[in-house]
Amino acid sequence: MASVFVTGSADGLGLLAARQLLAQGHAVTLHARSEERARAAQRAAPKAAAVVIGDVTSLEGMRTTARQANALGRFDAVIHNVGIGYGEPRRNETVDGLSQIFAVNVLAPYVLTVLMHRPARLIYLSSGLHRRGRADLSDPQWTSRRWDGMQAYSDSKLFDVWLAFGVARRWPEVLSNALEPGWVPTRMGGPDAPDDLTQGGETQAWLAVSDDPAATVTAQYFYHRQRRDPSAQTRNEASQDALLDYCAGLAGTALS
């Protein structure tokens, strides 16, 4: 039995992956941004070991989430599922003055990676839209560009792959991978999304616990439990390091 922490698991793909892991007999800790959503998550997955509460739109919320998770011990795997979509019609700013998409989709996974006890496996959710991402950190907060929600989201999903691969290089003892779940009919994906919802949660659960040689790899990118070639720009080590350094500056904590 493995112990797994799934961020952003009050609903959607995070909850789906959590339920699949619970059905396999693993110990799963959920994460929700508020007490209300935590209660809903507990009702949806009553066998969950615990629910960590923390609003990761703020740096303090990210740190609070990490502290609560650490109080539960070291996890075997952490699935960085938390994220927001591309439907924001304007640039929403967090209390820290950051673009909300960047804060939730990129900085939160970074901060939790740095501050939590180091697990054996890390899984970062990306998207096929990472291929539209711009490998440019000159304005990741969209302070000088005209807002484009789709581009901001695509950039964030490229950055998530940089995180996964950069961590894999710096922590060779940890299996750190990224994946795209497909365009599935969640609240984010919408009811007309064509991909299979069940498969949308399978890959992250599989990467978290499976002893299959295909799953016990690092610095790889997956779709429906199959390795897939990500955008070539995800393999740029200088870009990976630049993102890690940028996040370290925002968070005040560097990846060791």
Distance CA 22, CA 44 (A): 12
Q: pLDDT means per 10 residues in the chain (256 residues)?
A: 97 95 98 97 97 98 98 98 90 97 98 98 98 97 96 98 98 98 59 61 96 98 96 98 98 95
Q: Where are the domains of the chain?
A: 3-251
Residue 169 backbone phi and psi in degrees, to 5: -70, -40
Query: DSSP secondary structure string, 46-112?
Result: TT-SEEEE--TTSHHHHHHHHHHHHHT---SEEEE-----S--SS--B-TTS-BHHHIIIIIHHHHH
Distance CA 205, CA 14 (A): 10
Which tokens go with 227? 């390795």
**Residues annotated catalytic, as ranges:** 153, 157
**Helical (H) or strand (E) element with 238:** helix 237-251
Q: What pLDDT, on a 0 to 100 scale, did the predictor assign at position 26?
A: 98
Fold of 3-251: Rossmann fold (3.40.50)
Q: What pLDDT, on a 0 to 100 scale, did the predictor assign at position 87?
A: 78
Q: What pLDDT, on a 0 to 100 scale, did the predictor assign at position 86?
A: 83
Predicted TM-score (pTM) of the model is 0.95
Q: What pLDDT, on a 0 to 100 scale, did the predictor assign at position 189?
A: 46
Q: Are 114 and 70 in contact (CB under 8 A)?
A: no
* Rg, Å, the chain Cα set: 16
Long-range contacts of 214-220 (CB under 8 A, 24+ apart): 216/175, 217/175, 217/177, 218/168, 218/172, 218/174, 218/175, 218/176, 218/177, 219/164, 219/165, 219/168, 219/169, 219/176, 219/177, 220/177, 220/178
